[in-house]
Structure 1
């Protein structure tokens, strides 16, 4: 009986590790296809790259003081016009509080840090919470639902929420 128990426990641990590995592989794929390209598109003002990250069925929601809900075309139009100014300098980074993915679907929540005019005397930093729902479309991850809010500008560098989230490549939590 002792050998049977050991075998069952070993099998359960093996299956658990296989499920985790699959999850981490999906997260790495999401990082490569979504988050790396999202940040790159902001830094290079590459509208086409940014547009390619979003599902044709995108629903974009702004919460807090800037309440709105838009489809893909209405949301992306603002970026197309803003990013036509080649002098614009900006960066964006993400930290995660929760990442769940399975069967070509994912939910990711966290905090972003958006910097205008980085490393200059005119630097301005903005923070907000985000929650995105992703789905795989034709083998590629796409943003289906994108929600963010500045929480009425209550999130900042020293705010516990930002400090207690995890880097995009920190998979130990998940």
Structure 2
């Protein structure tokens, strides 16, 4: 009879560890399928890779001073035109203050750092706050809603550094 409570506790620990492990695996998938590829697309000026990260149902919103709302075609047309110049030198990276995910949906909020001419004398970095909604489509994560704003230029290096890193799974609550 004493074995039953021990068995139940062991089973609950095993199930909770499996759930946590699954969540970390989901985040690792999001990191590799979305964020790593997003950064790579910017660095290599790869329009096809960038386009592949977005759902056909994409809604793109710019807040703050640059208010706009567009569908996938209208949003990506700007990148297609800009990235014709394959000699662009740019990087983008992301840090997070909130990551929520469940059942093939995710909400991720944080700060991005966009740098032109990285490592050069004329290097310049820009910062903004983002919020994306991701959806798993046919086994792959896609950006369904993408919102960002420079928040009246109040976002800076300190804001960026105050968020947690891409692979910092300890700070996810």
More helix by share: 2
Shorter-chain TM-score above 0.5: yes
Cα distance in 2, alignment partners of residues 136 and 80 from structure 1: 25
In the other structure, the counterpart of 2:55 is 55
Question: Taking structure 1 as the reference length, what is the TM-score of the superposition?
Answer: 0.93
In the other structure, the counterpart of 1:166 is 164
Question: Taking structure 2 as the reference length, what is the TM-score of the superposition?
Answer: 0.93
Per-residue CA distance 1:33-62 (angstroms, 9 max, x = gap): 111100000000000000000000000011
Cα distance in 1, alignment partners of residues 14 and 49 from structure 2: 39
Q: Indicate the SS of the match to 1:167.
A: coil
Structure 1: unaligned runs, 5 residues or longer: none
1:125 aligned to 2:125? Answer: yes
Q: Indicate the SS of the match to 2:27.
A: helix
CA-CA distance at 1:8 after TM superposition:
3.7
Structure 2: unaligned runs, 5 residues or longer: none
Cα distance in 2, alignment partners of residues 173 and 79 from structure 1: 33
Aligned residues: 172
Cα distance in 1, alignment partners of residues 73 and 145 from structure 2: 14
Cα distance in 1, alignment partners of residues 111 and 12 from structure 2: 34
